[in-house]
A and B are shown apart, each in its own frame.
Chain A
Amino acid sequence: MSAPLNGLLAEFESASDLVAAAKTTHRSGYNDIEAYSPFPVHGLGEAIGFTKNRVPLVVLICGILGACTGYGLQYWVSAITYPINVGGRPLNSWPSFVIITFELTVLFAGISATVGMLVLNDLPRPHHPVFNVPQFERASQDRFFLCVFAADPKFNASETRRFLEGLKPISIADVPDE
């Protein structure tokens, strides 16, 4: 335990245990905590006090942006920059322009959904202190973890460890900073 401590990592058997533990931890005043699970566990987010999810907003904005780009491009090309008579149709043949408008809307929105999710999740982030903990490799398989970070004002190595033990985890590990 030479390296400075980044936090404490408690390992749990099941999703339910984790949710319960997370709730208690959060209620007892720890804010800088994080829960890890191998699949989305319902209610875990609010358990650790995560409320505002901005992904939908990003997608909405980009969607609208896409729509405007789509129709704008077509209108500009067909009616403004090089107006030319195609098959006797008017320059702004809006019914013909609907489809590409739609496609670009979806394209922009769709890409923004994933990119937005990654950015908001601060990914890619290949390195993270929790990876230092050996058993954490099962966080992506069949184990559930709760981490209280040292950055939390209420954090105190021994205090917090005792508090976590109170939550009956399978194990508790230090998360070394290096």
Chain B
Amino acid sequence: MAQIFHRSINLYSKASIVAVVLLGGAAFAGLFAFERSPYITYQGVTKPQPVPFSHQHHVAGLGIDCRYCHTTVETSNYASIPPTKTCMNCHSQIWTNAALLEPVRDSYRSGRSLVWSKLNDLPDYVYFNHSIHINKGVGCNTCHGPVDKMPLMYAASTLQMEWCLDCHRAPEKYLRPRDEVFNMEYKQPANGEPVSFDGKDYTDQKTLGMALVAKYHLRNVTDITSCSTCHR
């Protein structure tokens, strides 16, 4: 009987098997990467807005406090997007005829709302409450990132469940004193610059975090990783 296969096939046959296995693994890994990619999460992606509003200018430049516009952030689950009126408080005096602001003025005249694209968009089955996070010492930029350095706003975090859990499983990693919550310059304590809280200076986040957890009566991890904390 004649050879059916050429000698080289011996190598190929083995190689192909290995290759299939490797490719499978690669595909899997790729999927994971894709799942977390900005394409899916919009992390760091700006979206078209009626007005190119610059947080950098308003926060860093003018030093306006977050709560001037996001009025209900301490009292409600929504931080709330300011009504056109809030913009007009200033812009009826300054930049009164900047072309950029025409949509705002038009909205104010016509009573038609500005329509913004939502950037930090949680799935509808997730119930997030701003007020309690603020109250427990979660800084604005802990989740929203360096807003004061964003000419155009974008979501700084993936807002995926694993991201939420990262903090809910160990809040002490991120907490800060309440009076620092709205401070965009706040830095976590380091040997160089300690953070003082309750009259004590803390040089590392761990101990500070623990102190805050105790002080602010944070619920246990078992409590805040219970499903109904966020899903109902």
Nearest CB of chain B from residue A72's CB, rounded to whole Å = 20
A82-B225, A83-B222 known; A127+B1 contact, CB < 8 A: no
Kindly identify, within residues 44 to 89 of chain A, every residue whose CB is under 8 Å from any CB belonging to chain B. 82-85
Proximity string of chain A (125-136) to chain B, C-beta cutoff 8 Å, 1 when within and 0 when not: 111000111111
Nearest CB of chain A from residue B222's CB, rounded to whole Å = 7
Q: With a CB–CB cut-off of 8 A, which chain B residues contact A133?
A: 1
Q: Is the CB of A131 within 8 A of B4?
A: yes
Q: Any chain B CB within 8 A of the CB of A103?
A: no
Complex Cα–Cα for A3 and B226 (A): 76
Q: Is the CB of B10 within 8 A of A132?
A: no
Kindly identify, within residues 83 to 111 of chain A, every residue whose CB is under 8 Å from any CB belonging to chain B. 83-85
Q: Any chain B CB within 8 A of the CB of A165?
A: no
Q: Is the CB of B1 within 8 A of A137?
A: yes
Q: Is the CB of A126 within 8 A of B10?
A: yes
Q: Is the CB of A127 within 8 A of B2?
A: no
Most buried by A among B3, B4, B6: B3
How many inter-chain residue pairs (CB < 8 Å) link A and B?
Answer: 38
Q: Is the CB of A136 within 8 A of B1?
A: yes
Q: With a CB–CB cut-off of 8 A, which chain A residues contact B17?
A: 124
Q: Is the CB of B222 within 8 A of A132?
A: no
Complex Cα–Cα for A126 and B13 (A): 8
A124-B13, A125-B13, A126-B13 known; A84+B226 contact, CB < 8 A: yes
How many A residues, CB 8 Å from partner? 15
Kindly identify, within residues 124 to 178 of chain B, every residue whose CB is under 8 Å from any CB belonging to chain A. 165
Q: Is the CB of B3 within 8 A of A132?
A: yes
Q: Which residue of A lies closest to B8 (CB)?
A: A127
Q: Any chain A CB within 8 A of the CB of B231?
A: no
Q: With a CB–CB cut-off of 8 A, which chain A residues contact B165?
A: 82
Contact of B3 among A124, A131, A135 (CB under 8 A): A131
Proximity string of chain B (1-29) to chain A, C-beta cutoff 8 Å, 1 when within and 0 when not: 11111111110011001000000000000
Q: Is the CB of A134 within 8 A of B10?
A: no
Q: With a CB–CB cut-off of 8 A, which chain B residues contact A127?
A: 3, 5-10
A83-B222, A84-B226 known; A125+B10 contact, CB < 8 A: yes
Nearest CB of chain A from residue B97's CB, rounded to whole Å = 56
Q: With a CB–CB cut-off of 8 A, which chain B residues contact A124?
A: 10, 13-14, 17
Kindly identify, within residues 115 to 168 of chain A, every residue whose CB is under 8 Å from any CB belonging to chain B. 124-127, 131-137
A82-B225, A127-B9 known; A132+B4 contact, CB < 8 A: no
Nearest CB of chain B from residue A81's CB, rounded to whole Å = 9
10 CB contacts below 8 A, A to B, read: A82-B225, A84-B222, A124-B10, A124-B14, A126-B4, A126-B13, A127-B9, A131-B1, A131-B4, A132-B2
Interface residues, chain A, CB within 8 Å of chain B? 82-85, 124-127, 131-137
Nearest 6 pairs between A and B by C-beta? Answer: A137-B1, A126-B5, A124-B13, A127-B5, A127-B7, A126-B9
